Structure 1
Amino acid sequence: MPSSNFQSVLAADVGGTHARLGWVELPFDPSQAPRLLNHKRYRCADFNGLEFILQRFLADCHGSADAIAIACAGLRVGDRVISPNLPWALDLTALQTVSGELPLSISNDFEALARASRWLPSNARTLLCGKECGPGESRPILVLGPGTGLGAAIRVRVSAHHEHVIATEAGHAGYAPADQDEVALLAHLQGIHGHVATEALLSGPGLLRIYGAVCAMQQQAPKAHSPEAVSALAASGDDDCAMRAVRMFWDALGNVVGNLVLQTGCFGGVILAGGVLPNIDFGRAQSDFATRITAKGSMQPAMENVPIYQIEHGELAIVGAAMAFANRQ
Structure 2
Amino acid sequence: MSTFSTIAPATGLIADIGGTNARFALVDTLTGAVLRAATLSTDDHPGPVAAARVMLAEAAAAGLPMPGVGAWAVACPVLADAVDLTNHAWAFSIDATREALGLSRLTVINDFVANALAIPDLRPEDSVAIGPGGAGSADHPMVAIGPGTGLGVALLVPDGAGGWRAQATEGGHVTLAPADAADARLLDHLWPTHPHVSAERLISGDGLLLLYRTLAALEGVAARFDRPEAVSAAAMGGTDPLARAAMNRMYALLGTVAGNLVLSTGALGGVFILGGIVPATLDLFRASPFRARFEAKGRFRDYVAPVPTRVVTHPTPAFVGLARMVRAGA
With structure 2 as the length reference, what TM-score do the two structures score?
A: 0.89
Q: Deviations over 1:135-154 (max 9, x none)?
A: x8232111111110011111
* Residue type at the aligned position of 1:315: T
Question: How far, CA to CA, are the matches of 1:105 and 1:231 in structure 2?
Answer: 35
- Shift in Å at residue 110 of structure 1? 0.9
Contact 2:278–2:285 (Cα < 8 Å) also in 1 = no
Q: 157-166 or 198-207, which moves further after superposition?
A: 157-166
Distance 1:86 1:312, change over 3 A: farther
Contact 1:109–1:321 (Cα < 8 Å) also in 2 = no
Partner of 2:126: 124
Partner of 2:57: 59
Q: Deviations over 1:184-214 (max 9, x none)?
A: 2122222223222211111111111100111
Question: How far, CA to CA, are the matches of 1:158 and 1:326 in structure 2?
Answer: 18
Q: Does 1:24 align with 2:27?
A: yes
Question: How far, CA to CA, are the matches of 1:294 and 1:39 in structure 2?
Answer: 39
- Shift in Å at residue 69 of structure 1? 1.4
- Shift in Å at residue 161 of structure 1? 6.1
Q: Deviations over 1:244-284 (max 9, x none)?
A: 10110111111111001111111010111111113333333
- Equivalent residues in 2 for 1:274-313 (5 A)? 274-313=275-314
- Shift in Å at residue 316 of structure 1? 2.5
Contact 2:138–2:269 (Cα < 8 Å) also in 1 = yes
Contact 1:151–1:171 (Cα < 8 Å) also in 2 = yes
Uncovered stretches (5+) of structure 2, i.e. residues with no partner: 1-8
Partner of 2:40: 42
Question: How far, CA to CA, are the matches of 1:77 and 1:160 in structure 2?
Answer: 26
* Residue type at the aligned position of 1:287: S
Distance 1:282 1:52, change over 3 A: same
Distance 1:324 1:73, change over 3 A: farther
Q: 64-73 or 250-259, which moves further after superposition?
A: 64-73
Uncovered stretches (5+) of structure 1, i.e. residues with no partner: 1-5, 28-32
Q: Does 1:177 align with 2:178?
A: yes
Question: How far, CA to CA, are the matches of 1:77 and 1:157 in structure 2?
Answer: 23
Contact 1:35–1:319 (Cα < 8 Å) also in 2 = no
Contact 1:201–1:209 (Cα < 8 Å) also in 2 = yes
Partner of 2:274: 273
* Residue type at the aligned position of 1:189: L
Partner of 2:71: 69
Alpha-carbon RMSD: 2.1
Partner of 1:258: 259
- Equivalent residues in 2 for 1:100-111 (5 A)? 100=102, 102-111=104-113
Question: How far, CA to CA, are the matches of 2:323 and 2:329 in structure 1?
Answer: 10
Partner of 1:139: 140
Question: How far, CA to CA, are the matches of 1:90 and 1:275 in structure 2?
Answer: 24
Q: Matched residues, percent identical?
A: 35
Q: 314-323 or 101-110, which moves further after superposition?
A: 314-323
Secondary structure of the residue aligned to 2:78 is strand
Secondary structure of the residue aligned to 1:309 is strand
Partner of 2:190: 189
Question: How far, CA to CA, are the matches of 2:238 and 2:271 in structure 1?
Answer: 30
Distance 1:299 1:287, change over 3 A: same
Partner of 1:239: 240
Contact 2:128–2:313 (Cα < 8 Å) also in 1 = no
Secondary structure of the residue aligned to 1:48 is coil
